[in-house]
Each structure stands twice: as C-alpha cells, then as structure tokens.
C-alpha cells in the first residue's frame, strides 16, 4: 500500500508540470502582444487564430510594428487594389518607400505569404544577415533561419503558406536575439524586393 501511495505521489509533480507548460505559439503571440506588435488576446488565446494563413496586409502591419516605424501620414494611392481611404494604404506605401516591396500596380493585400517570404520580411526589417548566398534566395533564407535557430526544422517546400503561429515564433525569436543591436531602420532595402 505504501509503495502504491509513493508511486502516485511521484506521478503528481509530472502531471502538474505538464499542465503548467505553456504552448510556445501562444507564448510567442503573448510576447508580441506585450510589445504592442499584435492585438492582445492573452485572455482568450483562441482569438490569435494561430493556424490561419497569414496575409500580406497582416505581415505588413507586424513588420512595421516590429520596429515602431511610423507609417506614412498620407496615402498617394500607388496601389490600385487598395483604397486611398483604407489604413492599409499608408502602411503599404511605407513598405514601398523602404523597398520591402517592388513598385507594382497592385499590392495584393489578401494574398497569403509563404514561409520563405515571412522569414525574409522579418530578416529584412530587423537587418538580420543571411549566411547563405546561392542562386536560390528561398533556400538561402530558410537555411539561414534554421542555422540561426529561428526555425527548428528545415523546410524544402519553399512555397508552403506561412500561418500566424509560424510568423509569431520567428518574430519573437528575432526580437529576442536582435533587439540589442543598433539598427538603421531607414536604410533602403533594395535586393530581392517582393
């Protein structure tokens, strides 16, 4: 009987630890919310919609908020698929001014981003250097992200959609590692603009 009681007591701390562990995706979302990068849904984490694909307009807002760059105060309506009165217009034109996107007629705000594009955008905004420079820019970014610990597994499907948890984890890791470095946020980013 004493052995059974001791065995049960030995299991209790393990189960308590398992219950206390925080989901890393929710933890990343809460971290970004604390920094005012995304909306705070810590009281109701399902509202983070972690499994949803991330769209260009969401990624645009996240990357601008990562560095606290003020979006343009006016919109010149440089993208035909965004209303001049829409708040997205000012953010999209800020991206254009900083060479995050190439000058095109359309911004495509509702298009999904790939994991590679998401990694590239976080790297570009936080001035994280690629450690690979081959003919395949997608492989270069993903290999660099894996090598530096921003992602935990290698991806070979470079066109797989990025979901919100993927972006939140990378953004959190990037901020944690890169925040202390001096950054010139207004230096143009010219190569490989999307």
Q: At CA 11, angle to CA 5 and CA 16, rounded to 5?
A: 125
Q: How many helices (H) and strands (E) does the chain have?
A: 7, 0
Q: What is the pLDDT of residue 185?
A: 41
33 near 40, Cβ under 8 Å?
A: yes
Q: 192: left (phi > 0), else alpha (psi -120 to 50), else beta?
A: left
Q: Give the pLDDT of residue 5.
A: 46
Q: Three-class SS of residue 97? A: helix
Per domain, the residue ranges of the chain are 24-178
Give the model's pLDDT for residue 125. 84
pLDDT tens digit at each of 194 positions of the chain: 655 544 455 555 554 444 556 799 999 999 999 999 999 999 999 999 999 999 999 998 898 888 878 888 888 888 999 998 898 898 888 888 877 777 888 989 999 999 999 999 899 888 899 999 999 999 999 999 999 999 988 888 999 999 999 999 999 998 887 654 444 443 444 444 44
Contact 95, 147 (CB under 8 A): no
- Three-state DSSP at 163 gives strand
Quote the pLDDT of residue 186.
39
pLDDT in tens, 27-68: 999 999 999 999 999 999 999 999 999 999 999 889 888 887
Rg for the chain (alpha carbons), in Å? 20
Phi, psi of 104 (to 5 degrees): -135, 170
Rounded to 5°, the CA angle 21-41-71 comes to: 125
Q: Which residues contact 182 (CB under 8 A, 6 or more apart)?
A: none
């Amino acid at each position: 009987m004493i052995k059974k009681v001791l065995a049960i007591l030995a299991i209790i701390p393990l189960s308590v630890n398992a219950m206390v562990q925080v989901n890393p995706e929710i933890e990343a979302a809460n971290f970004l919310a604390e920094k005012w990068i995304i909306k705070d849904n810590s009281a109701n984490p399902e509202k983070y919609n972690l499994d949803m694909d991330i769209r260009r307009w969401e990624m645009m807002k996240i990357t601008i908020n990562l560095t606290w760059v003020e979006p343009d105060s006016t919109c010149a309506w440089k993208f035909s698929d965004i209303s001049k009165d829409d708040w997205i217009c000012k953010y999209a034109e800020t991206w254009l001014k900083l060479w995050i996107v190439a000058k095109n007629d359309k911004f495509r705000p509702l298009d999904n981003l790939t994991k590679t594009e998401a990694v590239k955008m976080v790297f570009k905004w936080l001035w994280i250097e690629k450690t690979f420079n081959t003919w395949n820019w997608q492989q270069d970014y993903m290999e660099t992200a894996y090598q530096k610990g921003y992602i935990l597994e290698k991806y070979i499907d470079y066109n797989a959609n990025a979901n919100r948890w993927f972006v939140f984890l990378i953004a959190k890791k990037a901020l944690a590692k890169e925040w202390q470095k001096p950054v010139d946020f207004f230096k143009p980013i010219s190569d490989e603009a999307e």
